């Protein structure tokens, strides 16, 4: 059909090209569902993948709960919980200590790890689609280090402890990421528009500057505090108190919902700004929105976990290889896998050199760094 | 009016776009420049461009490199805003329409169709339904494609001969195949106007002819109005009803091919010697490069 083979009888009428052969396939009156089922995302496949990932996350969470300085088998865990339900508080035993460890230390930490990983992966998905670059993530773009700088400054001036019975650090982290974003915006925007390539460039430069400032702050700090600071900067999770965890969960839920609301726009934006505009997206508004939601999320995440790198880059990429490119599935699947991944990585981080701990950022960097190299060196074809 | 999300709205006129007895496009003294402008030495990419596009015609925009062809096309698609003058789409000022209103009437095929992420061909084509989708704030963007959307997408894919590629990933396709996929996406928007930026660049002869024949068929069979930008003067001359010749941001000539594709006009605009004769079958002007002994 593309090549008119009918050259033998050229039309003699002036101004008309040769007659066109009829298309071999008549336009179908209704869609061929088999082909669409294979090549597009449907509600069925979405539910299957998300359901599977939820089950996987739950099973691995149960497994992670067992590991720690002391291993707790499933039977024992069941016994401990059974006794708690009976609520026999008349005699204190070793199991009650174990129950405290499970419920007050391991469980909130596992949950926090899951949330942090999920948020980072979701932000990674959004930024990669927006910048059309599989190497983008909040860490690379300087949003994380902006948040970290905010927190460092707060710690340096001793704001760190409490304001109104709540830690003020998340607010400082958020302020830092918003400042980072605003600066990036100022640097990258030209004539009311936000060219994507300058966003990437501005982000990388800001990241370098912020990192230097953080190093400076750390080096002038009193050594006792600077060690804790270093550990936090490397990315580490600490068991949060339940009220803190609740606040963070609500915050993360709101931000994740806002980002999920952009999945269809992200699908179109992944084709580039001009095609997206021609398909009816107000691209300037969409960019501003998505960057703001990402900064909100990153600020909170960094304040509770420091700079956990590479999750936002590696997980979305791996998810795309598995489930395709449709962000309606890539976004929630990345959030679930990212959460599960960080949860498992953190379990390793707190058990490998037990009774001491490693910062989980080291674990993610050890997995993510080589993957980054692999992307850069062996998959050039996949990158713009 | 709305049975389900993604319901086809294109058959009913949307409230803001009234398609009365207006030309498809009506541009009046349009000026445009990129970047910040030096007020002392204004560098207009387009200057005082006025023209109109009639319903059902195929208009070719030609001109030397940097003459403002692509800028003009992007202005028509509302990808960039006009800075002075007005462009009306079916009588409505482009700047007063929303982006999605424009997208329901105007399909745009960019020159660069590359993609980083492994979308399938079907997913890509279905994105053409985006401006027609109903977006309620509470559905969180998780609306699935309706059977109507799929039928329209399938028809566009059959028209563009990419139905057999439906399950492939766009990242694996050749440039020509991807070009056809993107035209199919534009057709899935069910537009009344199709804008194409260099649709035959990077294509071999067979695929160039293929695209031209297809565009001609879309015009004849569906009454689609087509505006295309091309470097290929012969393509414009043989396939377009009218040709608009731009030079340094200004309209030099606008008319049927025989009025525009003339030797003295082209030599003045392109600043080199050309040979213009008649196509042996169509009788329309044909441009040939000068032979070696003509230029030395």
Name chain B contacts of A29, Cβ cutoff 8 Å: 151
pLDDT tens-digit series, residues B59-118: 999 999 988 899 999 999 998 877 788 899 998 898 888 888 899 999 999 988 888 888
d(CA B90, CA B69): 21
d(CA A237, CA A248): 13
The answer to which of A108-122, A199-213, A276-290, B39-53 has the lowest mean pLDDT is: B39-53
Contact B154 A28 (CB under 8 A): yes
Return the higher-pLDDT residue of B41 and A174.
Answer: A174
Inter-chain CB proximity A277 and B77 less than 8 Å = yes
A193 touches chain B (CB under 8 A): no
Choose the closest CB to A14 out of B189, B216, B283. Answer: B283
- Over residues A100-118, the mean pLDDT reads 90
- Contact list in B for residue A41 (CB cut-off 8 A) is 123
Query: Chain-wide mean pLDDT for chain B?
Result: 85
Opening angle at CA B168, ends B162 and B174, nearest 5:
65
What residues of chain A lie within 8 A of the CB of B141, using their CB? 260-265, 328
- A384: pLDDT confidence band, cut at 50, 70 and 90? very low
pTM of this prediction? 0.84
Q: Which residue has the higher pLDDT, B3 or B241?
A: B241
CA distance A340 to A60: 7
Chain A residue whose CA is closest to B242: A15
What is the tens place of the pLDDT at every residue in A362-378?
888 888 778 777 766 66
- Tell me how far apart the alpha carbons of residues A126 and B142 are, in angstroms, rounded to a whole number: 16
Q: Do B158 and A40 lie within an 8 Å CB cutoff?
A: no
Question: CB neighbours of B118 closer than 8 A, spacing ≥ 6?
Answer: A320, A321, A324, A325, B169, B170, B171
Distance CA B125, CA B188 (A): 7
Say if residue A261's pLDDT is above 80. yes
**Which position has the token pair 């300085």?**
A69
C-alpha pair distances (Å), B136 with each of A278, A282, B140, B143, B185:
21, 16, 8, 10, 23
Q: How near does any CA of chain A get to the CA of B50, in Å?
A: 22
The span from the CA of A275 to the CA of A291, in Å, is 20
Cα of A149 to nearest chain B Cα, Å: 32
Give the alpha-carbon dihedral of A103, A108, A113, A114, to 10 degrees.
Answer: 90
The pLDDT tens digits for A225-238 are: 788 788 888 888 88
Domain at B25-35+42-294, CATH class: alpha beta
Domain ranges of chain B: 25-35+42-294
**Rounded average pLDDT over B122-150:** 78
Contact A272 B133 (CB under 8 A): no
């Amino acid at each position: 059909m593309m090549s008119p083979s009918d050259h033998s009888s050229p039309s003699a009428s002036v101004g008309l090209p040769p007659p066109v052969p009829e298309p071999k396939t008549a336009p179908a009156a209704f869609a061929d569902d088999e082909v669409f089922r294979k090549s597009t995302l449907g509600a069925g496949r979405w539910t299957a993948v998300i359901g599977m990932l939820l089950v996987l996350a739950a099973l691995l969470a149960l497994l992670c709960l067992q590991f720690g300085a002391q291993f707790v088998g499933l039977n024992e865990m069941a016994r401990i919980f059974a006794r708690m339900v009976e609520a026999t508080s008349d005699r204190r035993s070793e199991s009650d200590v174990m129950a405290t460890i499970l419920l007050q230390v391991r469980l909130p930490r596992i949950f926090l790890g899951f949330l942090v990983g999920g948020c980072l992966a979701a932000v990674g998905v959004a930024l990669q689609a927006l910048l059309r670059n599989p190497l983008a993530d909040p860490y690379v773009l300087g949003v994380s280090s902006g948040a970290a700088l905010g927190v460092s400054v707060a710690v340096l001036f001793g704001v760190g402890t409490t304001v109104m019975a709540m830690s003020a650090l998340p607010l400082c982290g958020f302020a830092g990421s918003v400042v980072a974003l605003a600066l990036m915006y100022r640097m990258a925007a030209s004539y009311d528009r936000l060219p994507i390539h300058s966003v990437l460039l501005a982000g990388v430069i800001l990241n370098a500057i912020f990192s230097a400032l953080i190093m400076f702050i750390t080096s002038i700090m009193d050594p006792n505090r600077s060690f804790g600071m270093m550990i936090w900067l490397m990315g580490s999770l600490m068991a949060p108190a339940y009220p803190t965890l609740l606040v963070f969960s609500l915050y993360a839920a709101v931000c994740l919902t806002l980002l999920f609301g952009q999945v269809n726009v992200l699908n179109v934006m992944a084709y580039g700004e001009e095609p997206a505009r021609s398909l009816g997206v107000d691209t300037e508004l969409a960019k501003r929105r998505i960057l703001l939601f990402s900064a909100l999320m990153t600020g909170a995440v960094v304040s509770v976990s420091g700079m956990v790198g590479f999750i936002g880059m590696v997980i979305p990429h791996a998810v795309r290889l598995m489930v395709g490119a449709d962000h309606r599935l890539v976004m929630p699947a990345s959030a679930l896998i990212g959460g599960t991944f960080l949860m498992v990585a953190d379990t390793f981080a707190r058990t490998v050199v037990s009774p001491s701990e490693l910062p989980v950022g080291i674990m993610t960097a050890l997995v993510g760094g080589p993957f980054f190299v692999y992307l850069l060196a062996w998959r050039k074809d996949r990158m713009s | 009016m709305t049975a389900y999300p993604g319901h086809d709205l294109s058959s009913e006129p949307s409230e803001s776009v009234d398609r009365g007895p207006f030309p498809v496009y009506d541009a009046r003294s349009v000026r445009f420049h990129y970047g910040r402008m030096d007020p002392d030495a204004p560098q207009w990419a387009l200057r005082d461009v006025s023209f109109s596009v009639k319903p059902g015609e195929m208009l070719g925009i030609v001109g030397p490199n940097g003459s403002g062809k692509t800028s003009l096309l992007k202005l028509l698609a509302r990808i960039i805003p006009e800075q002075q003058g007005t462009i009306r789409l079916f009588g409505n000022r482009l700047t007063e329409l929303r982006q999605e209103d424009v997208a329901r009437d105007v399909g745009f095929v960019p020159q660069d169709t590359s993609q980083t992420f492994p979308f399938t061909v079907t997913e890509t084509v279905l994105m053409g339904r985006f401006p027609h989708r109903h977006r309620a704030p509470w559905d969180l963007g998780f609306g699935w494609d309706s059977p109507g959307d799929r039928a329209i997408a399938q028809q566009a894919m059959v028209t563009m001969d990419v139905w057999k590629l439906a399950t492939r990933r766009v990242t694996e396709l050749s440039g020509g195949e991807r070009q056809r996929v993107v035209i199919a996406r534009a057709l899935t928007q069910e537009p009344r106007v199709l804008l194409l930026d260099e649709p035959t660049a990077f294509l071999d002869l067979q695929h160039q002819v293929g695209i031209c024949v297809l565009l001609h068929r879309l015009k004849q069979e569906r009454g689609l109005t087509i505006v295309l930008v091309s470097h290929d003067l012969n393509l414009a001359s043989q396939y377009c009803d009218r040709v608009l010749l731009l030079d340094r941001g200004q309209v030099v000539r606008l008319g049927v091919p025989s009025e525009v594709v003339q030797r003295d006009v082209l030599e003045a605009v392109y600043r080199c010697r050309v040979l213009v004769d008649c196509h042996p079958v169509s009788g329309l002007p044909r441009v040939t490069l000068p032979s070696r002994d003509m230029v030395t």
